[in-house]
A and B are shown apart, each in its own frame.
Chain A
Amino acid sequence: EIVLTQSPGTLSLSPGERATLSCRASQSVNSNYLAWYQQKPGQAPRLLIFGASSRATGIPDRFSGSGSGTDFTLTISRLEPEDFAVYYCQQHGSSPLYTFGQGTKLEIK
């Protein structure tokens, strides 16, 4: 089973700053199958990035994804007030079919 470890657990930043979130896999992940989601309280997760670096429909270009192998990064170039939320990475493997990281909470400093 591939385990995804996200860091930091909590990131405190101000609007306008740059956010860098990390997702590290316990073994190599097919980049085509690495995604990032945003979740706000009381809402379902929302797909931001798929295939490690492709933005989903309607996602602003301040969100970008990068990485390969075991190290992946979600970058938010200039934080907007609506970006403060919890972010999860997710991969598609064999058993189990899908796994999620434990999340990074992005909070207002």
Chain B
Amino acid sequence: QQQVKQSPQSLIVQKGGISIINCAYENTAFDYFPWYQQFPGKGPALLIAIRPDVSEKKEGRFTISFNKSAKQFSLHIMDSQPGDSATYFCAADRSTGFQKLVFGTGTRLLVSP
């Protein structure tokens, strides 16, 4: 119940295309869903996050779509650029009480020039 399933494991997208990464969770107590971007040899950095009271959040080229009933959320990267090539992790968290971030397995994105 604590798992967050992430797919695909790897993704190749042409420059200018749309990258889509999907995640699914089981525990309905989760109420905060961040996405992290990690470059090789670096720690993860928060990219964008969403709470279940909205179905979509957009920040620049990055959009999270959230489906509460299906317990799924996804990251869309519009106009993908070579600089977006990185590993992306979704995560699930709780706003209250002591809880650890639960990470997805990660998606390695390669944006070809």
Chains A and B come from one and the same complex: no
Interface set of B (CB-CB < 8 Å, partner A): none
